Structure 1
Amino acid sequence: MRPAPIKRCRGFTLIEAVTVIAITGVIAAVVVGFIRSPVQGYFDLERRVETTDTADTALRRMGRDFRLALPNSVRSVGTSPLCLEYLPTVTGGRYRAEAPGAALDFTTPTTTFDVLSTLNPIPASGDQVVVYNLGIPGADAYSGENRATILSATANSITLDTATQFSLASPGNRFQILPAAEQAVFYVCTNSGSGIDAAGNGNGSLYRLSHYGINAVAPTSCPAVSTDSPMLAQNVSHCEFDYTAGVTQRNGLISMRIDITKDHETTSLYNAVHVSNSP
């Protein structure tokens, strides 16, 4: 028998390897050119969605709070458009104005009065009741002339910790409850006028500050922000708050604008909230 022929194994030559590498590089460059724009577009879209969601969430939260504000309690702080103060409410109702029952008497100090509508939630001890807040001398919750602290309450009755004679009766026999846990609330926008940093991000932040007491005199500057203050938005490059009371004082308009800048791209949102000033 003749011996089987010897099989010779051959590999790639250097020229073939270099050719394959060169061709692969050309193909990779072409592929990168096709997918670069879609990938960059995806990251751009993700950034825009994030900044839009941040601004929208902040404005919605502010709008909800201002709609629940005590009538005639919104006030601008000083001449700055970057800070607004208001008194939040948690519930309200109608008081009994005449006997039988425990009526709220405006001619003599009162300790207990009946509530005609069921309170929900029931006020806690330390919460405050306000009657007919007009925001003027004699009927200003900030000054305390129509405000009293609650000792205890049920769904249909309120007992005050001190006998109080409220200044003016409400035409609709209405009252509002202020929470002791928050007292006055401020929305503060810091560093919004300092532009953007080297990375293209806004330098400012938006905060919601509470429990600053209820001060008769409007502060001339916004309260200080600490490291543990609750933040609603960051990367803020510009914000504006403006409050305009209605001509008849039965409504008001709060205009809010916030710009969020990230990676040299700015998202700007505007919202206007009608505030009921009918106490």
Structure 2
Amino acid sequence: MRSRGFTLIEMIIVITITGIIASIVAVFMRAPVQGYADAARRAHLTDTADTTLRRIARDVQSALPNSLRPNAACIANTTTLCGIELLPTLTGGRYRQDDACFSTGCTTLTSLGSVIAANDELSGRRIAIYNLHNNDGANCASLNPSAWCGQNVATIIASTDSSNNDQFNFASTTFAPGTGSPSRSFFIVGGPVAYVCSNVGTIGDNGTGELRRYENYVAASAPTLPPAGTSGQLIARNISGCNINYAPAISGTDGLLQIYLEITEAGETAGLYHEVHVDNAP
């Protein structure tokens, strides 16, 4: 019995049919695969924008009352440079009344209840009382005491922990106004924090901007963004739109921060708008 293999013509026919079938499958599969890739890209862009806005909101809601201030350039809908800065609070509470702190000056402050866990854990930090002004106009007049100007703040040189109260020591400081703080609240603040969008725009199918977070730089009375002397931490890239608008007194002591962030990558764009309530009760 003689075995028989494939002829060249049969092989060509099979290859041709296989190619036709593969082409048909590719045509029908291309749209779903492309759709999946586009959906995944949009989800990634949206997630990046959402995570970024929530991170900003967390810092803003822990800020020292009346310390939040935006860059003036942020008023426009889309800018090449836009940002905000604030003084974050580490802890705080209420203090025992000491009239000398608002008249002749004092060197100690005693809390009602304990707010620290160990002696001297906050040495080098600043204690702030009755901060009334974010100094966005670069005016350090005493009528509007501002922590940015070094008013109503003192650097802690020692602190003593107690189960009932804590004592904070600092150089002699006179706080304003002379009538004292109505709420008798104090805040322990850390170094400044800023969020800055830069080089915002688009080239081709991609955004060109970056959003960076800056921290623990030297505080200045007048807002300067981005802060000098630090490169900051990259939070998001491909920024095609960035708008930050802040109204410090929407209702009484309540402010409102409005943020719009837009990211463009490979022709896909995701834009999110977020509002943050800001409690400015000093």
Relative to the length of structure 1, the TM-score reads 0.87
What does residue range 122-161 of structure 1 map to in structure 2 within 5 Å?
Answer: 123-135=121-133, 137-138=141-142, 139-155=145-161, 156-161=165-170
Letter in 1 for 2:86: Y
Determine if the alignment matches structure 1 residue 257 to structure 2 residue 260.
yes
1:53-105 Cα deviation digits (max 9, x unpaired):
1100100000111111111111122334411121111111000115xxxx873
What does residue range 69-88 of structure 1 map to in structure 2 within 5 Å?
Answer: 69-81=63-75, 82-88=82-88
Distance 1:133 1:238 in 2: 33
Relative to the length of structure 2, the TM-score reads 0.86
Corresponding residue number in structure 1 for 2:45: 51
The structure with higher relative contact order (CA 8 Å, sep 6+) is 2
What does residue range 147-226 of structure 1 map to in structure 2 within 5 Å?
Answer: 147-155=153-161, 156-168=165-177, 169-179=180-190, 183-192=191-200, 194-195=201-202, 197-198=203-204, 200-219=205-224, 221-223=225-227
Letter in 2 for 1:176: F
Distance 1:87 1:71 in 2: 9
Letter in 2 for 1:223: P
1:134-183 Cα deviation digits (max 9, x unpaired):
1174321111120000012234323333121212321111011112xxx2
List runs of 5+ in structure 1 lacking aligned partners.
Answer: 1-6
List runs of 5+ in structure 2 lacking aligned partners.
Answer: 76-81, 136-140
Specify which of 37, 43, 49 is matched with residue 31 of structure 2: 37
Corresponding residue number in structure 2 for 1:270: 273
Is 1:128–1:177's contact at 8 Å kept on the other side of the alignment? yes
What secondary structure is seen at the aligned counterpart in 2 of 1:90?
strand
Higher Cα radius of gyration = 1
Letter in 2 for 1:129: I
Corresponding residue number in structure 2 for 1:4: none
What secondary structure is seen at the aligned counterpart in 1 of 2:12?
helix
Distance 1:84 1:245 in 2: 13
Distance 1:45 1:80 in 2: 31
Distance 1:15 1:239 in 2: 64
Is 1:119–1:154's contact at 8 Å kept on the other side of the alignment? no
RMSD of aligned alpha carbons: 2.0
- Does the C-alpha gap of structure 1 residues 224 and 17 become closer, same or farther in structure 2, counting only changes over 3 Å? farther
Matched positions, count:
261
Aligned-pair identity in percent equals 41
